[in-house]
Amino acid sequence: MTTTSLDAIASPSLPEGGSLRWMLANIATIAWRNLMAILRIPELLFFSTLQPIMFVLLFRYVFAGAISRPGLDYVAFLMPGIFVQTVCFGAVSTAIGLADDLQKGLIERFRALPMSRTAVLAGRTVADVCRNVFVIVVMTIVALAVGFRPTGGALNYFLAFLLMLLFAFALSWGFAFVGLAAPSAETAQVMAFPLLFPLTFASSCFVPVQTLPSWLRGFATYQPVSQVADAVRQLMVGNNKLFPYPFAHEWVAALIWTVGILVVLAPLAVRKFRNAI
Amino acid sequence: MTDAFAVDVDNVSKVFPKGNVTALDHVSFRVRPGMVFGLLGPNGAGKTTLVRILSTVLRPDSGTAKVFGLDVTKHDDEVRRMIGLAGQYATVDENLTGSENLKMVGRLSRLSRVDARTRSGELLEMFGLSDAGSRPVKTYSGGMRRRLDLAASLVARPPMLFLDEPTTGLDPQSRKDLWRVIEELVSAGATILLTTQYLEEADRFCESLVVVDHGRIIAEGTPADLKATLGETVVAISFADASSALKAAERLSDLSEHPLFVDGEEIELTVDQGPKITAEALRRLDAAGIEVGGIVLREPSLDDVFLALTGKRTDANDGTEPPAPTKKRGK
């Protein structure tokens, strides 16, 4: 350590500036920090991308024969479902990451800084959107390799991509809440899965909902993950015959769910954050 | 900032509903600007809770806490602009480099990108971390992390610093390094609230201090005041059995003006002239035919302060075992 003079004290004359501008700057800083963590642990990114690829291969080559029915091109049916399932599972990392930050005391440091309260959470969910972009691109390549042909066209594919990102962003806020409620990162993970499993598996992600028992069919048809999966499927492969539910445009329902989840859960998560500890 | 006090804690209480733990019980004290103020106490005494309340991380259940005259619950945003917090748990991002950590804190403290970078470089140099600045923090030693954590608390040049057990769990060399930094901060005129389990540390830096135990202030004053309640040396003598210890205590009780404690087979007396009194004690015990098992002379520890103040040992650990460094959640 050198003996450089320590000008520790100065008048607290921090720049004022618009608070919205600083909130956005804070979100960018926290998002950057979370993305650096992803880049610095390449193993985590590698294996977290490997898992959805395994799902693709599992359903494509192991279950497809048993699930396939006449008139159903299972690869076309499956891929949009797997995409949606993947971004849903990815939202768990929001919960794990926040719980980890809490546990390690980093959140405490953030709380003692003159930064936006919302930015701690928004920086995390924005970083998770960036991660999802990467994951969906990788999965698209894998899907094309195993015979998936998006017949809906490039624009529709792009719209499906955006819808998934937005839905994942909304879900992240819900899982941010879980992460803040969990006593540890490990607990956050086990708390998240009982929420995710019914949503992703009792859905139209992997099987047409008509094949489900009647008591489950209602839930499976109208719950958000199914609606998003249906919308993504419609945009990507444009085959309306597979979808039983009465909305003319699946994406309208999907969008309503997405915005609804965001509007309800984001403020709840921020409130939880303000009150936590 | 018309208030004359840097920190003004008035009747603050805090109960943690989980486990119904009273962390703070009507605590009041004041810190003048430019002063190093000590908060001394064993683990679980409430020191960290107090620091967290003052740094706006936690709300008190009752009472008021002000920093430079600003209420920490009503003007939390303004308070955050004037404080730096360094904890015993080095809260830096493992995955970022030292330099990135400081730049992040700079940006979050509303420094421009250029200022954040400049400040980061300055602080790395100041804390002897220039070479390590471009390495991820996960490769750092405990002492380096602690220095980085302290550096992070100085990024925005806050006039008020909360240092929560900055040296707990550090090796002697790292502790001395940190002490040097604290001394520099003191001479630069910062107001510092320092919590510690070590009497030596409090003695070295603090003009004034309070001793907390079970969320209450049990003593306050200067380190000299505190030490005056003790002797300079603790003489601990052990015997074959408890009855010998009691017999010895009877014969030695007039040796010191400070109280003598019997703890099983051991007695402890705090004295001002260690060697001379020890020799006298041994003469008396020999004359009385009481066999001495062992004898130890040491400087009074925080534990001895507690013993003198409360008549009992601290019921937390002995103050030398640091808690696990990373696992932490609001307790």
Nearest to A40 among B91, B125, B136 (CB): B136
pLDDT tens digits for range B130-180 = 999 999 999 998 888 888 998 999 999 899 999 998 888 778 887 887 888
pLDDT over 90 for what percent of chain A? 42
C-alpha dist (Å) from residue A64 to A199, A207, B81, B294: 21, 10, 59, 80
Q: Is the pLDDT of residue A262 over 90?
A: yes
Q: At what angle do helices A154-181 and A224-237 cross, to 10 degrees?
A: 160
Residue B231 banded pLDDT, cuts 50, 70, 90: low
Q: Which residues of B touch A5 (CB under 8 A)?
A: 184, 188
Which range (A243-252, B43-52, B130-139, B141-150) has the least confidence? A243-252
- Of A75, A66, A248, A265, the closest CA to residue A151 belongs to A75
Residue B311 banded pLDDT, cuts 50, 70, 90: low
Nearest to B328 among A41, A103, A111 (CB): A103
Q: Do A9 and B184 touch (CB under 8 A)?
A: no
Residue B317 banded pLDDT, cuts 50, 70, 90: very low
Q: Do B93 and A37 touch (CB under 8 A)?
A: yes
Is B107 in the A-facing interface, judged by CB distances under 8 Å?
Answer: yes
Q: Which residues of B touch A6 (CB under 8 A)?
A: 126, 154, 181, 184-185, 187-188
pLDDT score of A43: 86
Interior/surface letters B280-289, b for 16+ CB within 10 angstroms, e for the rest: ebeeebeeee
Stretch A194-202: mean pLDDT, rounded? 90
Q: Is the pLDDT of residue B312 over 80?
A: no
Highest mean pLDDT, choosing among A242-251, A264-273, B89-98: A264-273
CA distance A51 to chain B (A): 23
Q: Which residues of B touch A7 (CB under 8 A)?
A: 157, 188
Residues 6+ apart with CB under 8 A from B288: B247, B248, B251
Q: How many CB atoms lie within 10 A of CB B252?
A: 21
Higher pLDDT, B68 or B1: B68
Q: Is the pLDDT of residue A96 over 80?
A: yes
**Nearest C-alpha in B relative to A18:** B110
Residue A26, Cα to own-chain centre: how many angstroms?
A: 21
Q: Are A249 and A181 in contact (CB under 8 A)?
A: no
Q: Which residues of B touch A29 (CB under 8 A)?
A: 104, 107-108
- Cα separation, B99 vs B37, in Å, equals 30
Which range (A151-165, B20-34, B272-286) has the least confidence? B272-286
Which range (B65-69, B85-89, B131-135, B159-163) has the least confidence? B85-89
Which range (A142-146, B81-85, B267-271) has the least confidence? B267-271
Q: Are A203 and A229 in contact (CB under 8 A)?
A: yes
CA distance A64 to chain B (A): 41
Mean pLDDT of chain A: 85
Stretch A50-70: mean pLDDT, rounded? 83
Q: Is the pLDDT of residue B325 over 50?
A: no
Q: Do A7 and B188 touch (CB under 8 A)?
A: yes
Mean pLDDT of chain B: 83
Looking at CATH, the fold of the domain delimited by B231-299 is given as Alpha-Beta Plaits (3.30.70)
Domain boundaries, chain A: 20-275
Which range (A23-27, A78-82, A221-225, B201-205) has the least confidence? B201-205
Is B100 in the A-facing interface, judged by CB distances under 8 Å?
Answer: yes
Residues B315/B318/B320/B323 CA torsion (nearest 10 deg): -30
pLDDT score of A207: 86
* CATH of the domain spanning B7-227, picked from 3.30.390.50, 3.30.310.10, 3.40.50.300, 1.10.10.1100: 3.40.50.300
pLDDT score of B162: 94
Stretch A37-55: mean pLDDT, rounded? 86
Question: Which residues are registered as beta bridge partners of B303?
Answer: none
pLDDT score of B32: 92
Helix residue ranges, H only, chain B: 47-54, 76-80, 98-108, 113-126, 142-154, 172-187, 199-205, 223-228, 242-252, 274-287, 302-310
Domain boundaries, chain B: 7-227, 231-299
Higher pLDDT, B210 or B303: B210
Stretch B92-111: mean pLDDT, rounded? 94
pLDDT tens digits for range B244-254 = 888 888 887 77
3-state secondary structure of B179: helix
Is B186 in the A-facing interface, judged by CB distances under 8 Å?
Answer: no
Residue B322 banded pLDDT, cuts 50, 70, 90: very low
Residue B262 banded pLDDT, cuts 50, 70, 90: confident
Q: Which residues of A touch B117 (CB under 8 A)?
A: none
Residue B314 banded pLDDT, cuts 50, 70, 90: low
**Nearest C-alpha in A relative to B89:** A105
SS3 per residue for chain A:
CCCCCCCCCCCCCCCCCCHHHHHHHHHHHHHHHHHHHHHHCHHHHHHHHHHHHHHHHHHHHHHHHHHCCCCCCHHHHHHHHHHHHHHHHHCHHHHHHHHHHHHHCHHHHHHCCCCCHHHHHHHHHHHHHHHHHHHHHHHHHHHHHCCCCCCCCHHHHHHHHHHHHHHHHHHHHHHHHHHHHCCCHHHHHHHHHHHHHHHHHCCCCCCCHHHCCHHHHHHHHHCHHHHHHHHHHHHHHCCHHHCCCCCCCHHHHHHHHHHHHHHHHHHHHHHHHHHCC
Is B176 in the A-facing interface, judged by CB distances under 8 Å?
Answer: no
Residue with tokens 């792009």: A158
Residue A121, Cα to own-chain centre: how many angstroms?
A: 14
CA distance B315 to chain A (A): 25
- Of B43, B40, B46, B41, the closest CA to residue B15 belongs to B46
pLDDT score of B97: 95
Q: Is the pLDDT of residue A166 over 80?
A: yes
